[in-house]
Amino acid sequence: MPPATGEIAKKLRGAGLRPTRQRLDLAGLLFASGDRHVSAESLHGEAQAARLPVSLATVYNTLNQFTAAGLLREVAIEGNRSYFDTNTSNHFHYFLEDKGQLVDIGSERVEVFGLPALPEGTRIDRIDVIVRLKRG
């Protein structure tokens, strides 16, 4: 069941964002069906299909605002290709190159070891692992 507008507005306010109509509309699409990965273009397509009056630039801006507020996690695949993940927990991904699709890998299945010493005054925020898959 999709989250109610009131729940979405509360989530946005809790993240320090004003619940504007466009943010509410896009958040409704993003968080309506559980954890998922979207590109700005795919979310814009969903918005158009739902007859929501938002530009692609607005979608990009909103995704970046949601990411900065901690509501989304950006997964950069290539320099100009990013996906936005509604699951902000520590987890990893398969990238299906032929489909252009991200699939979650449970963090309990991946071990990262042998990292070099960290520069003084730093700590690991997170480690991104993307396993690229091709057919055949």
Q: Please tell me the total count of domains within the chain.
A: 2
Mean predicted lDDT score pLDDT of the chain: 90
Query: How are strands ordered across the β-sheet holding 92-96?
Result: 101-105, 92-96, 130-133
> How confident is the model over 81-95, as pLDDT tens digits?
899 999 998 888 999
> How confident is the model over 90-134, as pLDDT tens digits?
888 999 988 888 998 877 778 888 899 999 999 988 888 888 899
Range of the domain at 102: 92-133
> How confident is the model over 24-53, as pLDDT tens digits?
999 999 998 889 999 999 999 999 999 999
47/77 same-domain check: yes
Tell me: pLDDT of 3 over 80: no
Structure tokens given for 134: 């091709």
Strands 130-133, 92-96: pairing kind: parallel
32/80 same-domain check: yes
| pTM of the full structure | 0.85
64/108 same-domain check: no
17/68 same-domain check: yes
57/13 same-domain check: yes
- Give helix 21-30 / helix 56-68 axis angle, nearest 10°: 80
Q: Where are the beta strands (DSSP E) in the chain?
A: 37-38, 73-78, 81-85, 92-96, 101-105, 130-133
